[in-house]
Amino acid sequence: VAVKQASPPADLTAAERQAFRERTLLEARTAARLNHPNVVTVYDVVEEADGWPWIVMELVEARSLRDLVLADGPLTPAQAASVALQLMAALRAAHGLGIMHRDVKPGNVMIDADGHAVLADFGVARTDDSPTLTSSGMILGSPAYMPPERARGGRGGPESDLWSLGA
């Protein structure tokens, strides 16, 4: 397994730190609902004594798409198409449960030596019925891959994840 601690940025207010904690717990539970071969499996969420969550998930023996491209150069068109189809299958499964990833980017795509792609880090995921727990003005996600509607503060939907996949 891999274990990831969710620690808030140091400059948050007490209320923002509490919202961060609640959002992290909600998002980990959201990700745990997904069961798909192209999505990293979340097994459990554990809170330490001070209340900060640790997410226990599947260990994927792979490199991120970001690292792969930096080290080896661009994917071939066939490789890119294969990865895109696998990620579309992962997103279709997530969207079928009402879950939006909201941070599809090369650093969150893991590719093993056989070309199997897995979407990781549903860290800013939300469900259709998720409450908004972020502070006004906080942008969650990676600006370079963020669709215009989310950059303007909108919630976005499945089409937003597809835009990010294309980017």
Give the residue numbers marked as catalytic: 103
E-assigned strand segments in 67-112: 99-100, 109-111
Work out the number of other CB atoms within 10 angstroms of the CB of residue 142. Answer: 17
> Cα separation of 54 and 150, whole Å?
27
Q: Which two tokens stand for residue 155?
A: 């919630």
